[in-house]
Amino acid sequence: MTDRASKVRSLLRPEILALSAYHVPDSSDYIKLDAMENPYSWPDDMVEEWLARLREAQPNRYPDPSCSRLKACLREAYGVPEEAGLLMGNGSDEIIQIILMALQGREATVLAPEPTFVMYRQIASCLGLKFVSVPLREEDFSLDTAAMCAAIETHRPAVIFLAYPNNPTGNLFDFEAIVEILQAAPGLVVLDEAYAAYAGRSFMPRLADFDGLLVMRTLSKLGLAGLRLGFLAGAKAWIDEFDKIRLPYNINTLTQISTEFAIEKRKVLEAQVELIRRNRQHLLEALGRLPKVRVYPSEANFITFRLLRDDAGQVFQQLKDAGILIKNLHSSGGRLAGCLRVTVGTPEENRRFLAALSTILVS
């Protein structure tokens, strides 16, 4: 072992050394259907109006640390209760990190069903916290409520994360099952509603009904992925404490101005969401007609499917060779063995994906 490698191992925590970095593949020159992005750009006239708004920015000054105007826009647009507090984050990843950094002691337990969003486990592990997972039901990726409640009773988690709809499976967990978990939880329950726009369901109106309920949103999936903005809504008693950890000026001036503008023009984004929902249905039906493919219902802007005959890793690579990048879930193993995930693209992107996949599966 070299001196440098020895120094790295001696100075860094073992849980950091054991982690793998979050890998984002190079998507240059591919039809990009791997990252759950909105595939549609803004209309030209909207872009021109946005650029005019950006000319008012003063990049030589620090941004508004409280994001006061932006918070008012978010409250009105997304039905955040007036009495709830709001925490702003550089995407939802930073919010997850803030919540977990606030927990008392390294003995705190974080619980989530799996498979789910990988950053719950990644950030908990990075902070040296105990992470407990409860497998989703194998047949349909639904919540195993009895197993979840048993894990809550055994481990008494400080935080439970529930993605609603779930990533990477796309399904919307049963409403009553979530209520049961909320009633059983001794600590916080974070409802991660990153894909709420595509599902049309939210726990935002129920914030006052449960002491430990927090609702987390991101605007990335709506069409603002490049702006990196997330927010957390919940009782002010929680939000005020989390805000002590948030780094000052974490939401830059250009993001604040651009997001305020996008929310003003949200009818454009809402029309794009509705188009994606229709394209999702067409893609679900087309995938369902392919031989030896099991397609799982989706309430998000992506679809997870399982190959019952072909090797998922090989099919993923063949699609990549054909210029189409989707997500290889098979490499995660467990419940996701044999699975791939495709983002709903434009009709032309979906057509080219289906044509390539059909050719691969019959070859």
Give pLDDT, residue 23.
67
In whole angstroms, give the CA distance from residue 318 to residue 49. Answer: 42
Give pLDDT, residue 5.
79
Average pLDDT over every residue of 326-354: 97
Which of 100, 211, 109 is CA-nearest to residue 158? 109
Does the domain spanning 56-265 belong to CATH 3.40.640.10? Answer: yes
Sign for the CA dihedral angle at 229, 181, 75, 303 comes to positive
Model confidence at 15, pLDDT cuts 50, 70, 90, reads confident
Average pLDDT over every residue of 150-169: 98
Q: Is residue 125 scored above 80 in pLDDT?
A: yes
Model confidence at 16, pLDDT cuts 50, 70, 90, reads confident
| Percent above pLDDT 90 for the chain | 90
Residues 6+ apart with CB under 8 A from 342: 33, 283, 302, 303, 305, 326, 327, 353
Model confidence at 106, pLDDT cuts 50, 70, 90, reads confident
CA distances from residue 27 to 34, 85, 253, 344 in whole angstroms, order as listed: 9, 38, 28, 16
Q: Cα-flanking dihedrals φ and ψ of residue 262, to 5°? A: -60, -40
Q: Find out whether 119 and 93 touch, Cβ atoms under 8 Å.
A: yes
Q: Please tell me the CATH superfamily of domain 3-43+267-362, with its number.
A: Aspartate Aminotransferase, domain 1 (3.90.1150.10)
84-89/302-307 β-pairing: unpaired
Question: Within its chain, how far is the Cα of 274 from the centroid?
Answer: 19
In whole angstroms, give the CA distance from residue 157 to residue 132. Answer: 9
What does pTM read for this prediction? Answer: 0.94
Side-chain-side CA neighbours of 84 within 13 Å: the count stands at 29
Going from N- to C-terminal start, the domains of the chain cover: 3-43+267-362, 56-265
Q: How far apart are the first and last CA of the chain?
A: 48
For 253-277, how does the pLDDT look when each residue is reduced to its tens digit (9 = 90+)?
A: 999 999 999 999 999 999 999 999 9
Which of 112, 42, 115 is CA-nearest to residue 261? 42
Q: At what angle do helices 347-362 and 266-288 cross, to 10 degrees?
A: 20
Give pLDDT, residue 118.
95
For 202-250, how does the pLDDT look when each residue is reduced to its tens digit (9 = 90+)?
A: 999 999 999 999 999 999 999 999 999 999 999 999 999 999 999 999 9
Which of 245, 176, 240 is CA-nearest to residue 214? 240
Q: Is residue 7 scored above 90 in pLDDT?
A: no
Q: Where are the beta strands (DSSP E) in 140-249?
A: 159-163, 188-192, 213-218, 230-235
Total Cβ atoms within 10 A of residue 144: 16
Total Cβ atoms within 10 A of residue 143: 20
Sign for the CA dihedral angle at 131, 132, 138, 140 comes to negative
